[in-house]
Structures are given as structure tokens and as C-alpha cells.
Chains A and B, each alone.
Chain A
């Protein structure tokens, strides 16, 4: 079974400091990987996915197959980045629809 581990329940950083939210996955193949975010009083929404190699709101995430990691990074944290962040994986292939989520990390950006 797939497993996604987010080791930090809470991460506090000062505004302007770099941010790294850790995510490790257990699947031995090449899963699809995602970061979802939930801002206060808003619904869960997709932040970015590894296949797009995109940067959204200044965040990037690099897939490291050797370390089975997909850490989320931002060079300069902003107050509006405060939110719950969930890493998720999905097995590759047309018949796979389940997302497996980590337990989430609450990011708090201190002004």
C-alpha cells in the first residue's frame, strides 16, 4: 500500500524566511505526486503537481526518486502562505484514481 509521510505537524517561519515542507512517499515505482493546500475557512485545492514542473505562488517541488521525496519549497515566505499543506500521491496508470494523502503540515508564517 502507498504511504505518504509528512514528518512535521506544524512549521513556523518568519516572513521572508525560506520554507521547506517535507514529504516522503513509499511507492517503489513512479507515482504521480501533488501538493494540496487548505487556507483558513476555504476548501482543499490543488497547489501543484510534479508532472507540470510548475511554480505556483512562488512554491516549487522537486521529485527525488533516490530519496523518495517531494519536498515543497519557497525562498521567501509570505503571511498569506499560512495554511495546511497536504502532500498526496497516486499510482501511475489509467486505472488508478485514488489519492493517498499525508497527515498534513500546518505552516504558520510569523509577521
Chain B
């Protein structure tokens, strides 16, 4: 595809359930990022991958959150024992190169609602 693809676009789940959100970056982009955007806020950094490895996961709020990128392309954000406070839009972005000059290309986001 031409852009970053995220699925599902919407996910409604119950408190305590497990959720997976998928991101398919632009082909050839080695850098991949996850951000979280709560209502009325700007995006907040969660984790950054360079290739298959998580180069910076300092933004993950707690150990219920985990992300993988096993083959250096598609990434999955996993949230265990979801809480109502996890409700947000989860944005994925990719860039051709990492670092200061790399423009980020964002997906449309996955809106997670925890009831």
C-alpha cells in the first residue's frame, strides 16, 4: 500500500481483556514508532523500532504494554488486562531513516475503547 496501514480502525473491548493492534509500515521504512493520543491531547511517544529491535521503549506506560516487530516490517502493539484509562487512539508511524531529519509518516490510527 501507499501509506502506513493500521488495523483494526476501531476496537471496543471490556476491562481486563487482551488487545492486539497491528501496524503495516511503508515498504522499505526501517524505523517504526508507536504513539498514543488521548482525547484532547497530542500524540505521546510509546516505543521506537529500528529494524526488528526496540531501540527505545521508554514511553511504554507499564508492563501491560508490549510491542514486537519480528521480521522488521509489521509491528503489533499488545495490551494485557486493559483498563479504562487505556482508551485512546494508537498511532503508528514509519520513516525511511531514523533520527533528526527523518519525516514520520503516520497511519490513521486504531481507536481503542475500553468499557
Least distance between B36 CB and chain A CB atoms (Å):
11
Pairwise interchain contact B42-A101, C-beta atoms closer than 8 A = yes
Which B residue sits closest to A93, measured CB to CB? B100
A48–B17 alpha-carbon span in the complex (Å): 40
Which A residue sits closest to B6, measured CB to CB? A43
Q: Provided the pairs A86-B42, A103-B40, A103-B42 are in contact, do residues A97 and B106 lie with their beta carbons within 8 angstroms?
A: no
Which B residue sits closest to A84, measured CB to CB? B42
Please, how many residues of chain A have a CB less than 8 angstroms from a CB on the other chain? 24
A101–B44 alpha-carbon span in the complex (Å): 7
Please, how many residues of chain B have a CB less than 8 angstroms from a CB on the other chain? 28
Q: Which of A67-89 contact B (CB under 8 A)?
A: 86, 88
A43–B98 alpha-carbon span in the complex (Å): 20
8 contacts between A and B (CB under 8 A): A43-B3, A46-B103, A88-B42, A93-B100, A94-B99, A94-B100, A97-B31, A97-B48
